[in-house]
Every structure is written in C-alpha cells, then in structure tokens.
Amino acid sequence: MLSIAAALLLVQSDPGALAAKIARGFSEPDRVSAADDAAARNSSAAGPRFAVLLLDLHRCVERGRGYEAVYRSMTQYSGPAEVVRSIAAAFKKAVYCGDCKDGRIPCAECKGKGKIDFLKCQVCAGEGRMRPTGAVGPTDVTVKCRNCEGHGGFKNVGCKACSKSATIPCATCLGRPWFDRECSVGECRGGRVACQTCRGRGRLEVTCPDCQGKGKTRATGATPNADVQVKCRGCEGKGKVAEPPPCTACNATGRVPCTACKSDTPAGPQRKISLASILTVSPCGDCAGKGGSCAVCLGLGVKVRASE
C-alpha cells in the first residue's frame, strides 16, 4: 500500500495511472486506500479528481446517505463540466424530493399566504351575537359578542398552522428533501430532538408565585369588597418568573437524544438507489480500457455518462 507521499509522487508523475487505479476501485469503494484517495483529491489534474468524485458517488449510494454533500461537490467541480453536470442532474433527480421546494410546501390552511383572510370567532360561532351570560331558560335575547366585537370573526389573522411562514414541512420528506435521513422523526437533527420538558428552550417556564401566572395582583390596601387589579411587580405582568431556572432534563441545551434513532422504527423517507439510475460505465474504446494518458476518458480507462 502506497503512503500518501508516494501516492502524491505518483499523481504528479503519472496522473492517469492514479485515475485508473481509483476507477478500478469503484466496485469496492471502501477498499481504496486513504493515500490514493488523498492524492487524487489534491491533484491538479482533472482525471484523478474526476475519479475520486465518482468514487464518492459510489460510496454514498452504497451506504444510502451523504447524498447532499456529494451533490454539492459535483456542483463545485472544475473539470469535464458537461459530463459532471449531467451526472449531478441525474443524481439529484434520484435522491431529492420532487414534491416540495427545499423540504417545504405551501400551507393548505392559509393557501400559502401566512395569514387567514377571515377567521371565524369561536365564541359566537361567527354570528357576531350570543346568548347573554347568566341567561336562564329559553330566550331570544342576544348581545353583541365581546370577543369579536360583533364582527363574527377577525380579518388578516396570522396562520397558526404554519406559524405565519406560509409553508409547512413536506409530508413526503418530513422537511428533509435529500432522501438519506436515518430517522423517522421529522425534527431529529444529528440524533437529537427538542427537549419536551423545556420545549427546546433550555430553561423552564416557572409560574410567578406572586400572581399565580395571571400577571396581575390585588392592589395593596384595596378595600375588602373592591376588586382592584394592578400589574404584578414580581414578574412585571408576564406571569412567569424573570429568571427561569435551567432545565436539568437536557442540561440547559434544549435538545435530548432521539430515542427513535436507536429503535426498530423504519427510517422514514430514506431511499436506496442504484447507480444504473444515475450513470453508465463502459470500457473506453480509445485506450482499450488502459487509461493512462487517454484524453477521452481522462485516464480512468472507462467512459462515464449520465443515465438517460
């Protein structure tokens, strides 16, 4: 096995030989030595860099993950641009969600506006009027709904379904458009999810003991029968203590290990693909598969094209 220094010397003296060597490892990408891998990545010649790019593609398809990183490498590659561009397009088509844009779709509740044109009042069921509080027995007497001031609802209300963002996570990919996630939980990031104890804040919301969370207290000195309320000075009217304690469940980080990642739960929108759906590889007729200094195959010994 060549050392990194020896591999670098090889690529400097004969880049075609290293490109062909990398290409021969496509069928077993994990067996390509680290020295050859590093030398090809650092090469100034297009052949070795093209070969190692294809090697990364073989690796991620075999493992079923890392699709986005490989695609980004393809878009940044400087070499036989047309070939790489066509392979990148075929690759993305196979592993990227086609039902959304960057993992999001328009919210059906607000029709992608981020707000509701008219939200019916839940208190009066949109009537604008309601039965008087305390009314006894059957009566036709109604009073103006104080919740909506008799309008029956509210105009231009921020949509709760999408938090006024106008979009929601795609149901197909759970908000992660590259089909290489390893967990069925949509909010899982790197094996961690939001802590339910503190709701991802890292600190606990503690009800103010002075006002019991109401934000107001009875005025000091008020007569027994007077219901005079003033802003609670203990929480400044917020109903929560000013300095919430850290959450011990997540060590104040706001995130905890995802239990679904270690379970037998299916991985959700993970998609195993075949290389045949992305590219085709055939022996190079110009160099009889030898590679070397062949300009047609860049020394790989094989011709690589995007699948139709």
Mean pLDDT of 140-153: 87
From CA 197, how far away is CA 68, in angstroms rounded? 33
Mean pLDDT of 212-241: 77
pLDDT over threshold 80, residue 154: yes
Is residue 187, in this structure, part of any structural domain at all? no
From CA 85, how far away is CA 69, in angstroms rounded? 15
In sequence order, the β-bridge partners of residue 302 are 283
**Contact criterion met (CB below 8 Å) for 281 and 26:** yes
Is residue 222, in this structure, part of any structural domain at all? no
Residue 63 — pLDDT band, cuts 50, 70, 90?
A: confident
Question: What's the number of domains the chain is made of?
Answer: 1
pLDDT over threshold 50, residue 264: no
Is residue 21, in this structure, part of any structural domain at all? yes
Residue 243 — pLDDT band, cuts 50, 70, 90?
A: confident
Is residue 116, in this structure, part of any structural domain at all? no
Q: State both tokens at 75.
A: 């878009």
The whole-chain average pLDDT of the chain stands at: 83
With CA atoms as reference, report the closest residue to 208 among 175, 230, 233: 233
Is residue 174, in this structure, part of any structural domain at all? no
Residue 56 — pLDDT band, cuts 50, 70, 90?
A: very high
Residue 9 — pLDDT band, cuts 50, 70, 90?
A: very low
pTM attached to this predicted model? 0.60
Is residue 25, in this structure, part of any structural domain at all? yes
Residue 6 — pLDDT band, cuts 50, 70, 90?
A: very low
Q: 85: domain range?
A: 4-98+272-306
Is residue 297, in this structure, part of any structural domain at all? yes
Mean pLDDT comparison of 166-170, 175-179, 231-235, highest-scoring range = 166-170
Helix (H/G/I), strand (E/B), else coil: 260: helix
pLDDT at residue 146 in the model: 86
Is residue 172, in this structure, part of any structural domain at all? no
Residue 45 CB contacts under 8 Å (≥ 6 apart), including other chains = 11, 15, 19, 299
Rounded percentage of the chain residues whose pLDDT exceeds 90:
26
**Contact criterion met (CB below 8 Å) for 100 and 172:** yes
Residue scoring higher pLDDT (228 or 60): 60
pLDDT over threshold 80, residue 55: yes
Which amino acid is residue 125, in one-letter code? Answer: A
Which amino acid is residue 145, in one-letter code? Answer: C
